Structure 1
Amino acid sequence: MKIQYFPETDTLAIELTNKPVASTDAITNDLILDYDEQGKPVAITLDNCSKNVDSVYLQTLNLPLMSSNYEQIGS
């Protein structure tokens, strides 16, 4: 699993596997799910992250300090 935060766009990207994306579903304006050929989740994208996630959780992940190459929390 790979978690990246992009402060310039306030976007949190969570890559669950390295499988290719076959389809994408916008759950809300800020939440996007990507799926593989079998319909299993591949990635989660959360736009406007700081408005959608409690700051306590962001601090726990050190997101404000992360670079865009940050790889996280055991696979």
Structure 2
Amino acid sequence: MKLKYFDDTDTLYIEFRDSDIAESRDLDENTTLDLDSKGDVCAITFEHASQRTDVRHLALEGIAA
């Protein structure tokens, strides 16, 4: 899983899996969901991220499998 924040565009990109994107769906005018060919979620993009998320504070928490 990768998180990327682009300060110049205030965009947060969260990649859940490294897979080819078959389809992108707009959830609203500032949120896009990327899906693979099976319909599984690969990534999500948040525009205006600093206004919509707490992008300045990142915490990583491990969960035992």
TM value normalised by structure 2: 0.84
TM value normalised by structure 1: 0.74
Q: Which runs of 4+ in 1 moved over 4 A?
A: none
Partner secondary structure for residue 18 of structure 2: coil
Higher helix share: 1
What is the total number of aligned residue pairs between the two structures? Answer: 62
Higher strand share: 2
Higher relative contact order (CA 8 A, sep 6+): 1
Structure 1 residues 73, 44: closer, same or farther in 2, change over 3 A?
farther
For structure 2, which runs of at least 5 residues remain unmatched after alignment?
none
